[in-house]
A and B are shown apart, each in its own frame.
Chain A
Amino acid sequence: MRRLLEYALLAAALIFADRVANAGELHVPTNATAGSEATISTSGSGSATFYLFGPGTAVKRSIQLGSDVHLSAKDLQYSGSYTAVLGGENAAATFYVSPGKAADLAFLARPSRVPASTRQVISGTAFVFDANHNLVTQPTNVNFSLGVNGGKAEARSVKTKDGVAYVILDSERQAGPAQFTSSLDDTNVRRVVQVVASDPCNLRMSAKPAKNAILVETEPIRDCAGNPVPDGTIVTFTEVDNTGRSTVDARIKKGIAEATLPQSQSALLSVASGVVVGNEIHWGGH
């Protein structure tokens, strides 16, 4: 009876040793890159089901243990953490796939329209990707450039942190469509930021008598950098006399604004646009 038990234990030990010797194992890559092929080697004997789970990937294949499992560039298109599993073998391994080389940019530029000569008003944010749209986490230089045609462009080189680089820039003195570009080696992305004249500078008007009225008219209205203030901007003319106050809002048309104020023997005339106040005229005996 005792001998029988010993034989049974020996047989069980041999079966266990055989199972251990033939059990499947996985050897995953240690330096895989997104969008590149890789190989997972297996050991053991017999057949098994191989599974791969990762970002954008779920693979199921029948394999022979002891052979290599070939993973295509498409299987490993995305950067991230992958888990390889041998079904029924209690074998699994995790490996990391790094992003590839920087190859593409996404560029956010805001706003699309800004007043000239304004500090810290234009922002640009660049996201650096590899050829498979993975964020490249290795620090990479991104070149930003902002300039109106014919003017001197402002250029900055910024190193990415976690795949992102940003700049905040002043607007140009000169109005017009500014080219805002971010570039990375051969790749560049361009956005247009429309720089418009800022608030009027030296707002001046003149007045002359008209039929039963006073005709007021500004000189050509420009900002402090000499850019013409856009047509349609509101200019307010005010007349104060002993009968009260009259106000007329006029739009700039072809660079100037004009209005007709009520006739008065004696009045104080003034002009303003936004927060900018222009000259005053003492009309008649005021």
Chain B
Amino acid sequence: MAKRLFPLAFGLLFLSGSLFAAQPVQVQLSTSGVAPREVEDNTEKAIIRDYQRAWQSLAAALSENRTDLLANDFIGYAQDELHRRVAEQQNSGLHTRFIDHGHSLKAIMYSQDGSAMQLRDTAQIEVQQLDGNSVIHSDQITQSYLVVMTAGENRWKVRILQALPSEQ
């Protein structure tokens, strides 16, 4: 009996750990005023879903210092930049933890051919910087980002994720 229960308990423990690691990210998207093309309903859902995944991957990658977690959701310059951040954190024994309180996205430009979308994100995030296991700094921030996502084979990927100064 105990032998049968052990894998089940282990599985439940593993599942609860995974769910904790991949906390849901709240994303709202406004597409009013986007040009030159209107955003289709399916595209809107896909952007929300893929941007949520991207932030989950980013948080996990910077917390665990693993570049492999970025491959599905980031591409191009955004991916290069995050790879370098992870490599530098790894070299110095640093980590970054995000507690994500949600993103308010606004679509600015959706290319005529439907292959690229530019958005502005206002993110509410708690950021903790750690040296080993010690938190050296923690901050609750509201940060705006310029985001460019491009359509891939089966999902939208973040190509540019660039923070804006606080007044913009």
Which residues in A have some Cβ–Cβ distance to B below 8 Å? Answer: 49, 51, 53, 55-60, 78-81, 83, 85, 87, 92, 94, 96, 98-99, 108, 110-111, 123, 125, 127, 129, 133-135, 137, 161-164, 166, 168
Interface centre among B96, B160, B166 (most CB of A within 10 A): B160
Give per-residue flags for B8-52: 1 if the beta carbon is below 8 A from chain A beta carbons, else 0.
Answer: 000000000000000000000000000010000000000000000
Q: Which residues of A contact B120 (CB under 8 A)?
A: 162
Residues A137 and B92 in contact, CB atoms below 8 Å apart: no
CA A59 – CA B96 in complex, angstroms? 12
Q: Would A55 and B92 count as touching, CB distance under 8 A?
A: no
Is A87 a contact partner of B77 (Cβ separation < 8 A)?
Answer: no
Known A85-B137, A108-B111, A133-B77: A58·B89 in contact at CB below 8 Å: yes
A125 to B117, CA, bound (A): 11
Contact of A79 among B113, B118, B162 (CB under 8 A): B162
Could you list 18 further interchain pairs (A-B, Cβ under 8 angstroms) beyond the known A123-B112, A162-B146, A163-B118? A51-B136, A55-B163, A56-B81, A56-B82, A56-B85, A56-B88, A57-B85, A60-B94, A79-B162, A108-B111, A123-B36, A123-B113, A133-B80, A137-B146, A161-B109, A164-B148, A166-B36, A166-B112
> Chain A residue with minimal CB distance to B120?
A162
What distance in Å separates the Cβ of A51 from its nearest Cβ neighbour in chain B? 6
| Chain A contacts for B104, CB-based, 8 A | none
CB of B165 within 8 A of chain A? yes
Within 8 A of A (CB), among B103-133: 108-109, 111-113, 115-116, 118, 120, 127, 129, 131
The DSSP consensus for interface residues of chain A is strand
- Contact A125 B111, CB 8 Å, known A56-B85, A58-B92, A162-B118: yes
10 contacts between A and B (CB under 8 A): A56-B84, A58-B85, A59-B92, A79-B162, A83-B139, A110-B112, A125-B111, A161-B108, A162-B118, A162-B146
B interface residues, Cβ below 8 angstroms from A? 36, 77, 80-82, 84-85, 88-89, 92-94, 96, 108-109, 111-113, 115-116, 118, 120, 127, 129, 131, 136-137, 139, 143, 146, 148, 160, 162-166, 168
Q: Using known A-B contacts A162-B108, A166-B36, determine if residue A125 contacts B116 with beta carbons closer than 8 Å.
A: yes
Closest-CB distance, A48 to chain B (whole angstroms): 11
A108:B115 contact, CB within 8 angstroms:
yes
Whether A134 and B162, one on each chain, are in contact in the complex, defined by CB atoms closer than 8 angstroms, is yes
Are B113 and A108 in contact (CB-based, < 8 A)? yes
Q: What's the least CB distance linking A184 to chain B, in Å?
A: 17
CB atoms of B148 and A127 under 8 A apart: yes
A83–B129 contact, CB under 8 A?
Answer: yes
Hey, which chain A residues are within 8 Å of B139, CB to CB?
A: 83, 92, 94
A73 CB → nearest B CB, Å = 14
Which listed residue (B116, B131, B146) contacts A60, Cβ 8 A?
Answer: B131
Q: Is there an interface contact between B162 and A85, defined as CB atoms closer than 8 Å?
A: no
The minimal Cβ–Cβ distance linking B93 to chain A, given in whole angstroms, is 7
**Docked-complex contact B94 and A51, CB < 8 angstroms:** yes
Write the nearest CB–CB distance from B151 to chain A, whole angstroms. 11
Q: Are A80 and B163 in contact (CB under 8 A)?
A: yes
**Contact (Cβ within 8 A) A111 B88:** no
CB neighbours (8 Å) of A123 from chain B are 36, 111-113
Bound: A133/B161 CA distance, A:
11
Contact B146 A51 (CB under 8 A): no
Partner of A59, one of B88, B164, B166: B88
Distance (Å) between the CB of A34 and the closest chain B CB? 10
Q: Which one of B85, B129, B131, B165 lies within 8 Å of A55 (CB-CB)?
A: B85
Chain B residue, CB-CB nearest to A34: B162
**How many Å from the CB of A136 to the closest CB on chain B?**
10
- Min CB distance B97 to A, Å, is 12
Instruction: Say whether, besides A51-B131, A83-B139, A110 and B113 are in contact (CB < 8 Å).
Output: yes
Contact B165 A58 (CB under 8 A): no
Bound-state Cα–Cα, A129 to B108, Å: 18
Nearest CB of B to A102, in Å: 14
Shortest CB-to-CB span from B76 to chain A, Å, is 8
Q: Is the CB of A108 within 8 A of B116?
A: yes
